[in-house]
Structure 1
Amino acid sequence: MTFDGRQLAAFLAIVQHGSLGRAAEELHITQPGLSRTIKRLEEQLGAPLFERNSKGMLLTPIGEALLPRATLLQQESAHAIEEINAMRGLAKGTIKVGSIGSVASHILPMAIDRVLNRWPNLRVYVIEGVWDRLAEGLNKHEIDIALGVAMEDSDDIVAIADCRWEDNSYIVASPAHPLHAQTTVSLADTLHHRWATMPRGTAPFNHMRDIFRAHGITPPNVVVETRSVVMLKSLVSEAGFLSWMSGTMYEAESKAGLIEALPIKNIKATRSLTAFRRRKGILPKPAVKLIEELRLIAAGG
């Protein structure tokens, strides 16, 4: 059986958007025209692909069986066209990605650089923030990929396989901070100084709190909470605050002699980072290109 590319595109658009109306808008055709296209595909298969209910267009068992095959056929066709377009310098589209600060400081720029070296006509839209902001961006379709701390999948958001890294976090201070003058520094020593961190409830704050508790020490009294990475770095380098940051997050400031990790022994604060997507729908092609590069970086390639 031979499939018509337009019919498969119509089928996948309805799956992604969950309704005829939104799918028709994306494909720039009328809703009746889209209905006729799907009807012809169903007649060719001899079975309905969708059933309508109050939640929109839901796949039938036959539709579920067709979905992975239709996706693969469309992707293979698209990859062939994209490879040719890349050779001709014509590939276009927008990668929409969100990231926590530590990934935005290191992994994401590397992946973007690699993608744009291959596909120079693509554009990239990035938002940076803590997880609740990224989750909101995914659910509102502002972004297609979110890069953050590994966690359990939810009803709406799932991790992407093979896109996982690790990084280490540290208690940081300016080189002039009095704790740097001590021969040895303990976690308890940091409790007597001013702290600034990401807000309570965010992944960085929870990570810091858990490390203190794991060593039987009450977490520090944080006097400044902010979602601004720039503000945190300034409070550390300019105002003498302590903070909790991943190594990649303050790497540039460390090289410039503005921020240094405190030499606290026997403290290992490693966390896993990964990429996330919406559970429902198909990743846009530009997003797939970024994921491919992220997988290579995660694998050490």
Structure 2
Amino acid sequence: MALSIEQLMTFTTIVKAGSLGRAAALLNMTQPALSRAIKRLEQQLGAELFERHSKGMQLTDIGRAFLPHATSLHVEAKQALEEIQALRGAAKGTVRVGAVASIASSILPPAIERTLTKWPGLHFEVFEGVWDLLAASLSKHEIDLALGAEAPDTDEIVAIRDCCWEDTSHVIVASGHPLRRRRKLTLADTLHEKWTIPPPGTGPHQHVERVFAEQGLGMPDVIVRTRSITVLKSLVVDSGFLSWMAEPMFEPERRAGLIAPLSIAGVDGRRKLVAFRRRRGLLAVPAVKLLDELRRLTSTGSRKR
């Protein structure tokens, strides 16, 4: 039983849109034509994929089971077309890449620049976020590559271990914070200060937990938890908070004299960063081009932080 790209796109679009009317508008089809198309697909599969309601379309149990396969097949069909274009010397397409903030502000921009120099027909969609959201987006085919701190492989995503590098994180404060005048500062001296970091389950939070545990300490007093880098920096600069951040993320504020890292003996804030992909399926050709440039940059010692 052969399924066409159009059938797969029709099915996945209805799922995303939630109704025939919205899906028809997205696909530039009339609603009766779309209804007939999905009915033919159901007849071909021998099962109903949707339950029709006055408020929209809901997947049946069979529809829910079919969805991940349809999504994967649709993506791989598009990748096959891009592969053919690349072999013909006309690589086009869009690279959807997600990255934690330190990577989005450091190594990713030059990698994109190098990729475009060789493949000017490509376009990029860059998503910045904490690791748990990036991993979920990668699993759901919303991005092609995810760049973040080293983490265990899962059933859905795996690390590309020949594309790795390091960065260094620090306890950061406003340049005029009183702790900067302390000599022989220890991590214990920060315990009762006001802290702001991302919430539990995120890479930075886990990094802070590990660093404090290595010093035999519990977690500091975290007053504000947020995923927003802008909020974290504002609380540090304007409200006297401490935070934990990788060097590339606060480098502009350090140059401007707004933020400074604390010098704390015995604190190793280094971490390994890795590119990740989905375990199953082929990596899209445009994403391969970006990955090649990331490998070249990360293999250069001057790019490792």
Task: Calculate the TM-score normalised by the size of structure 2.
Answer: 0.72
Q: 1:200 — aligned with what?
A: 200
**1:209 shift after superposition:** 1.0
RMSD: 2.9
Which letter maps to 2:231? M
Which residue of 1 is the match for residue 282 of structure 2? 282
Shift of 1:207: 0.7
1:270 to 2:266 alignment? no
Asked if residue 256 in structure 1 is aligned to residue 256 in structure 2, the reply is yes
CA change 1:280–1:253 in 2 (3 A) is same
SS where residue 88 of structure 2 aligns?
Answer: helix
SS at match of 1:250: helix
CA displacement 1:157-179 (0-9 Å, x = unmatched) = 01113111111111000101110
Amino acid at match of 2:173: A
1:260-284 CA-partner distances (Å, limit 9, x unpaired): 1001122112111101111111111
Q: Which residue of 1 aligns with 2:140?
A: 140
Q: C-alpha distance in 2, partners of 1:22/1:225?
A: 47
Corresponding residue for 1:211?
211
Please tell me whether the aligned partners of residues 86 and 92 of structure 2 are also in contact (alpha carbons under 8 angstroms): no
Select the residue among 84, 88, 96 that pairs with 1:81: 88
| 1:106 correspondence with 2:106 | yes
- Partner deviation per Cα, 1:73-119 (whole Å, 9 max, x = no partner): x96x654423xx4xxxxx42111000111111101112111112222
SS at match of 2:136: helix
Instruction: Tell me the equivalent position of 2:224.
Output: 224
1:21 aligns with 2:6: no
Q: Is the CA contact 1:130–1:227 (under 8 Å) kept in the aligned structure 2?
A: yes
User: Which SS does the other structure have where 1:117 is aligned?
Assistant: helix
In structure 1, the gaps of 5 or more residues are 1-18, 33-53, 59-70, 86-90
Distance 1:173 1:227 in 2: 18
The 8 Å contact of residues 93 and 122 in structure 1, kept in 2 or not, is answered as yes
Query: 1:287 and 1:257 mapped to 2: Cα distance?
Result: 37
Q: Per-residue displacement from partner, 1:196-251 (whole Å, max 9, x unpaired)?
A: 00111211111111111111112201010000111111111111100000111111
Q: Is the 8 A contact 1:162 1:298 kept in 2?
A: no
Q: For 1:217 and 1:184, locate their aligned partners in 2 and report how far apart those are by CA, in whole Å.
A: 17
3-state SS of 2:152 partner: coil
Q: State the distance in 2 between where 1:287 and 1:25 align.
A: 25
AA partner of residue 141 (structure 2): H
Residues matched between the structures, number: 241
Higher mean C-alpha deviation, range 104-113 or range 19-28: 19-28
1:43-98, Cα deviation, whole Å (9 max, x unpaired): xxxxxxxxxxx87999xxxxxxxxxxxx99x96x654423xx4xxxxx42111000
Give the corresponding residue for 1:237.
Answer: 237
Q: Gaps (5+ residues) in structure 2? A: 11-36, 42-64, 70-78
The secondary structure found in structure 2 opposite 1:21 is: coil
Q: Secondary structure at the match of 2:155?
A: coil
Aligned residue for 1:132, secondary structure, equals helix
Cα offset, 1:26, TM superposition: 7.2
Q: What are the equivalent positions in structure 2 for 1:60-79 lying under 5 Å apart?
A: 79=86
**Corresponding residue number in structure 2 for 1:183:** 183
What pairs with 1:105-124 in structure 2 (closer than 5 Å)? 105-124=105-124
Instruction: Report the Cα distance in structure 2 between the residues aligned to 1:110 and 1:22, rounded to whole angstroms.
Output: 38
SS for the counterpart of 2:196 is: strand
Distance of aligned partners of 1:187 and 1:154 in 2 relative to their CA distance in 1, 3 Å threshold: same
Correspondence 1:160 to 2:167 = no
